[in-house]
C-alpha cells in the first residue's frame, strides 16, 4: 500500500522556486490500476519518480507497505526499489550491449541472486512475455513492442508489488502499444499495483482510477479508492 | 549485494562493447608499463655489463697508479713542491715480498709502428711480464704468452693480439716470424685469443713485449701501472697498506702513488648505474602516471556517455556504492589488462634488445616489474575514483531523462 502525506517537492530553477508537487495526499491500495494524467509540467513525472524512490520529497512522508521510506538511507532505498518497485520507461532504457535475457536478468544480478535461480526466473519471464525466441538478441535487433516487453519483464523479474510506467506506449505504434498495455493489465490482474503516467486520454480511460494533476496539485481523483476502502 | 563475479562480468561486457575506447586505454597503460620494463632492463643491463667487464679484469685485483689523485692541500708550495717519482720495475719487484700477493705485473704503454714484410701498422705496445696474462685471465689462440724471465731483462719476443695478427699476417703463419717494432726486431711467440675491448684497451690490436724491452724501446724507465693480484679478498686492505708503505719508503717518504681496487671502481660504477636505472625507471613511471590521467579522462567521458545507463541501474535497485564499484572494477580490469599486455610488450622489447646487443644483459629487475604493475593498478584505480564518484552521485531522475 502506498500512502503519501503532505508531500511537497520544490525545485530551484535559477532564483525561482518551483513547486513540482504541492501538498499531495493520496493512498493507493495494493492491486489498484491507476493512471496519472495532466499536462506537461503538472508534476506527474515527479510524482512517479517519488513513488519509485528515485526522488525524495522536500517535506512530507511516504509510507510504503506501512514503512516510512522517506527515512531510509540511500542504500536501503536502493534495496526497496529493487524488491518492491518496477519501472517501465517510454524509451525502454535497455542496455544495448546486453541481450534481452541479460537485460531482464539485471535486477536479479544487482540483488546478488545466484545464477541458477536467475536463469530459471529469466526463462519464465521470457516465456510469459512470449520472448523465448528473442532471448539472445540485442535490443537493436528487437521491435519496439518487443523491447518494451523486455523492459516489462525486467521491471517485474523481482516480483515487485508496484509497477510504475511512464508513458509506456509513447514510443510505440498503436498495435504494439495496445499489446504492451494489455501485458501490463494482465500483470495488474495478477495483483500488481499498476501506476501509469500518460498524456493519452484513451490509455488513461482504461484504468480503474484516474488521478488528474495540474501545477503540482491533484485536481481530480476519479475511481476506485472508495470502492477498495482505503 | 551485487556478486563479485557478476560485477566483473558486467564491467567486462561494458569494456568489450566499446572496443576503440578500451583499445586506447590499454595502449596507454601497456606503453607505460612496457616502457618501465624496457628502460629499467636497459639500465640494469648496462650495470651488469659494466660489472661483468670489471670482473673480467681479474679477481682481487689492485692497481697501482703513479701520482696522488688527492691533493693534500696543506702544502704551501703547491704542485711545485712535490717531485713526483716514477714507478719503476724495482718498485714492482719490491712488492713481491708480501706473502699475500699472488702475482705482480708491471705495465708500460707506448705506440709504435709494427711491420712485417711490406705491411705496417701503428698500434699500442704493452710492456709487461708473464703474469699479466694470468691476472687478466686471457686465453692464448696460439703459442705462449711472454716467458717467465727476470723483469729487468728485455728479450726480443712478442705476443700479438688476434686482430693485429690477422691484419699483418693474413693467411700466413705468424708464429716464429720476426716482426719489426719501432727500430727493433721481435720474434712472435704467441697469439692471444679474441678478447675484444677490455677496460679501454683494445687487446686485439696490441702487441705485448717484455717490460724491459718496452722501456728501452720507448726510452722510458717509468711504469704506467702495476697490477697486483692478491691471494684473498680479505687480504686486500693489508696489501694496499703494504704497497703504500713500501713505495713511500722507496720514494723517500713521498706518498706519490694511488692504489685503486677493482671493488672500489666497481662500487662507484654500481652506484652511478643504479641511480641511472632508478631515474629512468622514474621517468618511465611518469608515462604510467600520464596513462592514469588518460584513463581518468576516458572514464569521465564514459560516465557522461553512460549517464542514462547509470540512472537505469539505480532505478533497478543499484545503490551508489554498487555503481561506484562497477566503474572501479572497469578501471581495475583495464589497468591490470593493460599492465599484463605492457609486461608482455616489455619482455618482448627486452628480448629484442638482447637479440640485437648480445653483450647487454637487458633483463628487467624484479622490483621494476613489480613496481610498474603496482603503479599501473594504483593509478588506474586512483584516477577512476573521480569518474566513479561522479557516476555514483548521478541523480537517477536526471540521468534517466537524458535521452
Contacts of B3 in chain A (CB under 8 A): 109, 112, 114
pLDDT at B76 over 50: no
pLDDT value at residue B57: 63
Cβ contacts below 8 Å, chain A against chain B, sum to 71
Contacts of B315 in chain A (CB under 8 A): 52, 54, 81, 87, 93
> A91 and B309: CB-CB below 8 Å?
no
Contacts of B312 in chain A (CB under 8 A): 93, 95
pLDDT at B81 over 50: no
- Answer with the residue of higher pLDDT: A175 or A230: A175
* Average pLDDT estimate for A95-119: 93
Q: Is CATH 3.40.50.300 the classification given to domain A2-228?
A: yes
Report the C-alpha gap between B45 and B350 in whole angstroms.
10
Cα torsion through B289, B293, B296, B299, rounded to 10: -100
Chain A: give the shortest CA distance to residue B1, in Å: 5
* Average pLDDT estimate for B312-340: 89
Q: Which of B13, B309, B317 sits opposite A107 (nearest CB)?
A: B317
Contacts of A48 in chain B (CB under 8 A): none
The full set of domain ranges for chain A reads 2-228
Task: Compute the Cα dihedral for B238, B240, B241, B242 and give only its sign.
Answer: positive
pLDDT value at residue B105: 92
Chain A: give the shortest CA distance to residue B287, in Å: 32
Contacts of B398 (CB under 8 A, 6+ apart): B307, B311
pLDDT at A106 over 90: yes
Q: How far is CA B378 from the centre of its chain?
A: 30
Report the mean per-residue pLDDT for chain A.
91
Report the C-alpha gap between B194 and B203 in whole angstroms.
8
The SS3 call for residue A15 is coil
> B319 and A79: CB-CB below 8 Å?
yes
- Answer with the residue of higher pLDDT: B345 or B284: B345
- Answer with the residue of higher pLDDT: B263 or A164: A164
- Chain B residue with minimum CA distance to A79: B317
pLDDT value at residue B194: 79
Chain A: give the shortest CA distance to residue B378, in Å: 26
* Average pLDDT estimate for A107-128: 93
* Average pLDDT estimate for B41-66: 81
A106, HSE (Cβ side, Cα atoms, 13 Å): 32
* Average pLDDT estimate for A6-28: 90
* Average pLDDT estimate for B42-54: 82
| Cβ-contact B34, B342 below 8 angstroms | yes
Q: Which residues of A touch B (CB under 8 A)?
A: 49, 52, 54-55, 74-75, 78-79, 81-83, 87, 89, 91, 93, 95-98, 102, 106-107, 109-112, 114-115, 154, 158
In DSSP notation, B249-290 reads: HHTTT---EEEEEHHHHHHHHHHHHHHHHHHHHHHHHHHHHH
- Answer with the residue of higher pLDDT: B202 or B350: B350
Q: How far is CA A77 from the centre of its chain?
A: 15
Among A9, A40, A54, the strongest candidate for a mutation testing the B interface, having the largest count of B CBs within 10 A, is A54
pLDDT at B262 over 80: no
> A97 and B1: CB-CB below 8 Å?
no
Residue-wise pLDDT for B108-159, tens only, equals 999 999 999 888 889 999 999 999 888 888 888 889 999 988 888 888 999 9
pLDDT at B366 over 80: yes
Contacts of A97 in chain B (CB under 8 A): 13-14, 16-17
> A79 and B6: CB-CB below 8 Å?
no
> A81 and B316: CB-CB below 8 Å?
yes
> A83 and B403: CB-CB below 8 Å?
no
Report the C-alpha gap between B193 and B299 in whole angstroms.
62
pLDDT at B73 over 80: no
> B315 and A87: CB-CB below 8 Å?
yes
The full set of domain ranges for chain B reads 4-54+267-401, 85-255
Ranked by mean pLDDT, the top range of A11-20, B68-77, B252-261, B343-352 is B343-352
Contacts of B318 in chain A (CB under 8 A): 78, 82, 110
Nearest alpha-carbon partner for A142 in A108, A178, A101, A111:
A101
pLDDT value at residue A26: 93
pLDDT value at residue A143: 93
pLDDT value at residue A150: 95
Residue-wise pLDDT for A177-221, tens only, equals 999 999 999 999 999 999 999 988 888 899 999 999 999 999 999
pLDDT value at residue B403: 44
Residue-wise pLDDT for B168-208, tens only, equals 998 889 899 999 998 899 999 999 987 655 655 678 889 99
Amino acid at each position: 500500500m502506498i500512502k503519501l502525506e503532505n508531500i511537497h517537492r520544490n525545485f530551484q530553477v535559477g532564483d525561482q522556486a518551483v513547486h513540482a508537487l504541492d501538498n499531495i495526499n493520496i493512498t493507493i491500495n495494493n492491486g489498484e490500476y491507476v493512471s496519472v494524467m495532466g499536462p506537461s509540467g503538472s508534476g506527474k513525472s515527479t510524482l512517479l519518480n517519488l513513488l519509485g524512490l528515485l526522488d525524495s520529497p522536500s517535506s512530507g512522508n511516504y509510507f510504503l507497505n506501512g514503512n516510512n521510506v522517506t527515512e531510509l538511507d540511500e542504500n536501503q532505498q536502493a534495496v526497496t526499489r529493487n524488491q518492491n518497485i518496477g519501472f517501465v520507461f517510454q524509451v525502454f532504457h535497455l542496455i544495448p550491449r546486453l541481450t534481452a535475457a541479460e537485460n531482464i536478468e539485471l535486477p536479479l544480478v544487482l540483488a546478488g541472486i545466484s545464477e541458477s535461480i536467475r536463469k530459471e526466473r529469466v526463462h519464465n519471464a521470457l516465456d510469459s512475455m512470449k520472448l523465448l525466441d528473442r532471448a539472445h538478441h540485442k535490443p537493436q535487433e528487437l521491435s519496439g513492442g518487443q523491447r518494451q516487453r523486455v523492459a516489462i519483464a525486467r521491471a517485474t523479474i523481482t516480483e515487485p508489488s508496484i509497477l510504475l510506467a511512464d508513458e509506456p506506449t509513447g514510443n510505440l505504434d498503436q498495435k504494439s502499444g495496445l499489446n504492451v498495455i494489455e501485458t501490463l493489465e494482465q500483470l495488474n490482474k495478477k495483483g500488481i499495483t499498476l501506476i501509469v503516467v500518460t498524456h493519452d486520454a484513451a490509455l488513461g480511460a482504461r484504468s480503474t482510477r484516474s488521478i488528474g494533476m495540474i501545477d503540482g496539485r491533484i485536481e481530480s481523483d476519479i475511481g476506485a479508492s472508495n470502492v477498495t476502502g482505503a | 549485494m551485487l556478486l563479485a563475479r557478476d560485477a566483473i562480468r558486467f564491467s567486462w561486457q561494458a569494456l568489450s562493447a566499446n572496443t576503440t575506447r578500451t583499445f586506447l586505454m590499454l595502449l596507454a597503460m601497456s606503453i607505460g608499463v612496457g616502457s618501465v620494463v624496457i628502460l629499467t632492463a636497459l639500465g640494469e643491463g648496462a650495470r651488469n655489463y659494466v660489472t661483468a667487464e670489471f670482473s673480467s679484469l681479474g679477481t682481487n685485483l689492485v692497481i697501482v697508479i703513479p701520482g696522488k689523485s688527492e691533493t693534500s692541500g696543506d702544502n704551501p708550495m703547491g704542485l711545485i713542491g712535490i717531485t713526483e717519482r716514477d714507478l719503476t720495475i724495482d718498485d714492482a719487484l719490491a712488492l713481491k715480498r708480501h706473502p699475500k700477493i699472488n702475482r705482480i705485473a708491471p705495465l708500460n704503454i707506448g705506440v709504435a709502428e709494427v711491420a712485417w714484410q711490406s705491411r705496417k701498422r701503428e698500434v699500442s705496445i704493452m710492456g709487461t711480464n708473464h703474469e699479466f696474462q694470468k691476472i687478466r685471465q686471457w686465453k692464448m689462440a696460439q703459442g705462449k704468452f711472454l716467458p717467465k724471465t727476470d723483469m729487468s731483462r728485455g728479450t726480443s719476443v712478442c705476443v700479438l693480439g688476434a686482430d693485429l695478427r690477422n691484419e699483418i699476417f693474413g693467411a700466413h703463419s705468424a708464429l716464429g716470424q720476426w716482426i719489426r717494432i719501432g727500430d727493433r726486431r721481435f720474434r712472435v711467440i704467441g697469439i692471444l685469443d679474441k678478447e675484444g675491448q677490455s677496460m679501454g684497451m683494445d687487446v686485439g690490436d696490441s702487441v705485448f713485449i717484455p717490460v724491459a724491452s718496452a722501456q728501452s724501446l720507448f726510452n722510458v724507465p717509468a711504469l704506467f701501472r702495476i697490477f697486483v693480484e692478491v691471494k684473498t679478498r680479505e687480504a686486500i686492505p693489508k696489501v694496499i697498506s703494504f704497497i703504500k708503505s713500501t713505495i713511500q719508503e722507496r720514494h723517500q717518504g713521498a706518498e706519490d702513488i694511488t692504489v685503486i681496487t677493482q671493488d672500489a671502481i666497481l662500487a662507484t660504477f654500481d652506484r652511478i648505474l643504479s641511480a641511472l636505472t632508478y631515474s629512468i625507471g622514474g621517468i618511465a613511471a611518469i608515462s604510467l602516471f600520464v596513462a592514469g590521467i588518460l584513463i581518468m579522462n576516458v572514464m569521465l567521458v564514459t560516465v557522461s556517455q553512460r549517464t542514462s545507463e547509470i540512472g537505469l541501474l539505480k532505478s533497478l535497485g543499484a545503490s551508489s556504492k554498487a555503481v561506484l564499484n562497477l566503474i572501479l572494477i572497469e578501471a581495475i580490469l583495464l589497468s591490470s589488462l593493460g599492465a599484463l599486455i605492457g609486461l608482455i610488450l616489455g619482455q618482448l622489447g627486452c628480448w629484442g634488445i638482447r637479440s640485437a646487443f648480445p653483450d647487454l644483459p637487458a633483463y628487467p629487475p624484479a622490483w621494476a616489474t613489480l613496481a610498474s604493475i603496482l603503479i599501473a593498478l594504483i593509478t588506474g584505480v586512483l584516477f577512476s575514483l573521480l569518474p566513479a564518484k561522479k557516476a555514483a552521485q548521478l541523480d537517477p531522475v536526471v540521468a534517466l531523462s537524458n535521452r
